[in-house]
A = this chain, B = another copy of it.
Amino acid sequence: MSDSRGARMSRRGLFGLGAAGAAVVGAGVVASNTLLDEAPVAHAASISDPFPFYGEHQAGVVTPAQDRLHFVAFDVITKNRAELVELLQEWTAAAARLTQGKEAGSFGAVGGAPEAAPDDTGEALGLPASGLTLTIGFGASLFDERFGLAGKRPAALADLPKFPGEQLIPEISGGDICVQACAHDPQVAVHAIRNLARIGFGKVSVRWSQLGFGCTSSTSRAQATPRNLMGFKDGTNNLKLEDAELLRDQLWASAQDGSAWMAGGTYMVTRKIRMAIETWDRTSLAEQEQIFGRNKGEGAPLGKQAEFDAVDFAAKGADGQPHIKADAHVRLAHPSNNSNAHLLRRGYNFVDGSDGLGRLDAGLFFIAYQRDPRKQFVPVQMKLAKNDALNEYIKHVSSGLFACPPGVRDAGDYWGRTLFE
């Protein structure tokens, strides 16, 4: 075994080499992959270039899904609109630095004043950018009377209905502002959220926070489909960054949708879904596969051979019964059975320790992006909540809905400018 295991590349060292050095890393990785004639390697790519921060859309949506998540929802505690805007500007500047592998601000030891608290907490010193993206969203509660935003609440940010069976915990639901941090290294994702919280001291308060790992839905055709904690491939038919036309139709909000400030933005739904994994683990393979409507090993639709074979909902087996049952998850959720409603899913597995009753507290932190939840998440989830055979093994315990503004165009722009100006 190599002694290099576990050692880390210096953030400063990597970026001191500039783009040429980073490109060499990429080339080395590709070379080793091609010899294996296999899917490319996730972890090697974690040291490659950072993702661009500036752009028409926020990063972290169609960005090829990174492996780790730290998600936070804040309550705004200042009542001063100017202070909130100033915070968004400070956060934007910090995010532009953090996503490029830099510290949040000047670090005491290298230029800061020793009598002041450092402008970066330090735990990511020496770590590369690790593909960090930071994606902000505004919850419906921000559009109350505090900041004069009531008239700007988008129609698509309508409160979610109550879904049958959900058991939501208010303390870990909602929030005025959310930030999704995704990276290939959890320390980098945690460092980013923690520094945003530090910068927001006295203006925002952490309402709830969630760590996740193993993004359960690939968002690019170049990625292999990962598995959720039920052991099934998840996201085979996910909206992917290569689906340009669908992304335009179903992901990005347009000025014609009624809220001009959201043009280029998107709407994020979060659902923390606790799984009864101990019960699931004692369920037969045949039942598990019937519930999903796919086989477990390959992820192929029942009655088909390969993962990406088209699902045939009419096909019947020798017994005259449909291969895919009426209450199978894939049948109920499939766009062809939902007026062609797609979602860009970007959820993560979670394990939050144990529940005090001898069971792991584990499941899926579901995240989905879309142009209009009223036409996409809501009708699909209503159908699932009523009929999905999977409901016996899952429980929705938290919920969030956020309007994610368009991307930050350049260093003179900031998160939410179109909303506040």
Q: Which A residues form the contact surface with B (CB < 8 A)?
A: 1-10, 13-14, 17, 21, 24-33, 35-49, 51, 64-68, 70, 72, 75, 107-110, 112-118, 120-126, 131, 171-172, 184-187, 190, 193-194, 197-198, 201, 205-211, 213-215, 218-220, 222-224, 226-232, 277-278, 281-286, 288-289, 295-298, 349, 351-354, 356, 358-362
Partner of A284 from the list B40, B114, B296 (CB cut-off 8 Å) is: B114
Q: Are A209 and B360 in contact (CB under 8 A)?
A: yes
| With A8-B224, A114-B284 as contacts: A107 and B297 at CB distance below 8 Å | yes
Asked if A358 and B205 make an inter-chain contact with CB atoms under 8 angstroms apart, the answer reads yes
Contact of B359 with A206 in the complex, beta carbons under 8 Å: yes
Task: State in angstroms the CA–CA spacing of A272 and B32 once bound together.
Answer: 40
Whether the Cβ atoms of B207 and A354 lie closer than 8 Å is: yes
Q: Judging by beta carbons under 8 Å apart, are A126 and B224 in contact?
A: yes
Question: Which B residues touch A108, using CB under 8 A?
Answer: 285, 296
Which residue of B3, B284, B297, B353 contacts A211 across the interface (Cβ within 8 Å)?
A: B353
A31 touches B31 (CB 8 A): yes
Q: Is B285 a contact partner of A116 (Cβ separation < 8 A)? A: yes
Q: Is the CB of A70 within 8 A of B6?
A: no
- Can you sample 18 A-B contacts with CB below 8 Å? A5-B184, A6-B215, A7-B222, A7-B224, A8-B226, A9-B42, A14-B36, A28-B31, A31-B31, A41-B47, A117-B283, A121-B277, A122-B231, A123-B349, A125-B231, A198-B281, A201-B278, A206-B359
In the complex, given contacts A7-B41, A9-B39, what are 17 additional A-B residue pairs having Cβ atoms less than 8 angstroms apart?
A4-B30, A4-B33, A6-B45, A6-B131, A6-B218, A6-B220, A8-B42, A13-B37, A21-B36, A109-B295, A118-B288, A121-B229, A186-B213, A190-B351, A193-B360, A194-B277, A206-B354
B231 touches A6 (CB 8 A): no
Least CB distance from A233 to B in Å reads 9
Smallest CB separation, A115 vs chain B (Å): 5
